[in-house]
Structure 1
Amino acid sequence: MALGVYRSKIEADNLEETLPTKKTLKTIDAAAKARAADYAAQQKQQEMRKVRNSRDNRIALIASAGAVVLALVLQLGYFGFGPGSVTPNPTASSSANSALVPSPALAEGRTWSGSIEINGKPLTVEIDGANAPQAAANFLSLANSGFYSGNTCHRLVTEGIYVLQCGDPNGDGTGDPGYKWGPIENAPADDSYKTGVLAMARQSGDGSTMGSQFFIVYEDSVIPSDAAGGYTVFGKITGDLSAIDDVIAGGVEGGGTDGKPAVEAKISAISLK
């Protein structure tokens, strides 16, 4: 055999020894595919984690914002005694009131004094006919007609703000004297309602939805204004609040912070002069 041919055979034999077999190639290919699939799976898991984290962050932000909005809505709606949504009407005036609404002239622009009896115990009061003539005239007219006698105070709030709400003939926050009126009068500019204040309840966002419901502030409270403004202050308790001490101490029925008083608070009579 010629040297060149022999040398070429040796090189070919050596090359065959260094080249992988078909079985080895298949094994290598399978391993490579497995590694590629594993890498792709890891990449997909990472992408899914990123998506989940992003989604969770959005949900957390939405939940946090929702909690803030809910808290604000609840606070602004403490005195919204009517059902359903209300269109704000901050420019309402007494000229829009029906003929059923007592004339502001009945308040005579002066201070009225007397008492509100709750559970047979008197709260001495003053009604401000000078600064809140429409509210004072309405309260005087309803009181003198006996409208309030026998009504219960249906709502007690014991957290955030501190009020006892009364004057609903239905006893559940839905009643009125058969009419509604406005506008808002004598609301504090700083939204601060001092202990003993008497103020009118109304639907949130509407200054022309006052009727017969009012609230007694039994501890200093900041009650935020809404789109319509604040709440009409028409008088105050001039003595102590001992007549409702047991009602306040009893808290809310069921242990909540806003609802029906656990101890009944019934208006026995109202006398003013």
Structure 2
Amino acid sequence: MLRKPHALLTAAALLALSAATPAAADTPPPPARTAACAYTPAVPADRFKGIPVFDPVKAARPYSATLRTSQGAITFRAQTDKAPCTTYSFKFLAQRAYFDRTHCHRLTTARIYVLQCGDPTGTGSGGPGYSFPDENLTGAAYPAGTVAMANAGPDTNGSQFFFVWQDTKLPPAYTPFGKVTAGLDVLRKIAAGGEDDQNGPGDGFPALPVDIKRVHIRVG
């Protein structure tokens, strides 16, 4: 099965990528922030669940997400205060079973240390049928346990995201939107299993299959 590294740039490309800090990350007043949370129709539209309509009241509600995978459960706390557009989209898709019965299609074990998921096609090129702007990039860092959006360039967020399983240096170009609270050991077990190097040394499909059975959202 083809697994293109479309949505998270290769290590070489990442080193050449300049930092991006869009206006949405500069803590604008509520009206401007709401306006920035616009979801724009985009292709592809795989397993289409509709396009969310941002609700600032619902978006502000904190929540945790638990991914029950074939390798164990991974839970993260969504940063609804820092990345409301992103966390609202993730919850919208999760509550509509978008991620259920999908698999994490990319593991990197050299220079960058992430497990990438969220593509129902498993190719690295799939998306939910809409895109939305970057957020929370000012001062963004990617220590172990970070959950962030994969993308194909500025403001191209869709459904693909990644877990950082070991401290990683990346340019502030990938919206951080969550912190792992349980399951970092699961991520490290997956990483220890290695990958198939399909995209180059240290970059490919995880040798331990990571099938997402379901994603449970707990509000509060």
User: Shorter-chain TM-score: which interval?
Assistant: 0.7 to 0.9
Is the 2:39–2:53 Cα contact (8 Å) retained in structure 1? no
Give the match for residue 68 of structure 2.
117
Q: Where does the alignment leave 5 or more consecutive residues of structure 1 unmatched?
A: 1-69, 78-87
Aligned mates of 2:137, 2:186 — CA distance in 1: 26
Is the 1:110–1:129 Cα contact (8 Å) retained in structure 2? yes
Larger Rg over CA atoms:
1
Give the structure with the larger helix fraction.
1
Closer, same or farther: CA 145–252 of 1 in aligned 2, 3 Å: same
Closer, same or farther: CA 76–148 of 1 in aligned 2, 3 Å: farther
Corresponding residue to 1:169 among 83, 107, 120: 120
- Larger relative contact order (C-alpha < 8 A, sep ≥ 6)? 2
Corresponding residue to 2:109 among 134, 158, 161: 158
TM-score by length of 1: 0.61
Closer, same or farther: CA 215–96 of 1 in aligned 2, 3 Å: closer
Is the 2:39–2:131 Cα contact (8 Å) retained in structure 1? no
Give the match for residue 196 of structure 1.
145
Q: Where does the alignment leave 5 or more consecutive residues of structure 2 unmatched?
A: 1-9, 25-35, 42-49
Corresponding residue to 1:235 among 152, 164, 178: 178
Give the match for residue 215 of structure 2.
270
What residue identity is the alignment partner of 2:209? E
What is the root-mean-square deviation in Å for CA atoms of aligned residues? 2.7
Deviates more, 1:97-106 or 1:153-162: 97-106
What is the total number of aligned residue pairs between the two structures? 186
Aligned mates of 1:112, 1:215 — CA distance in 2: 18
TM-score by length of 2: 0.74
Quote how far apart the aligned CAs of 1:90 are. Answer: 5.5
Give the match for residue 82 of structure 2.
131
Q: How does 1:1-20 map to 2 (within 5 A)?
A: none
Q: Are 1:244 and 2:164 counterparts?
A: no
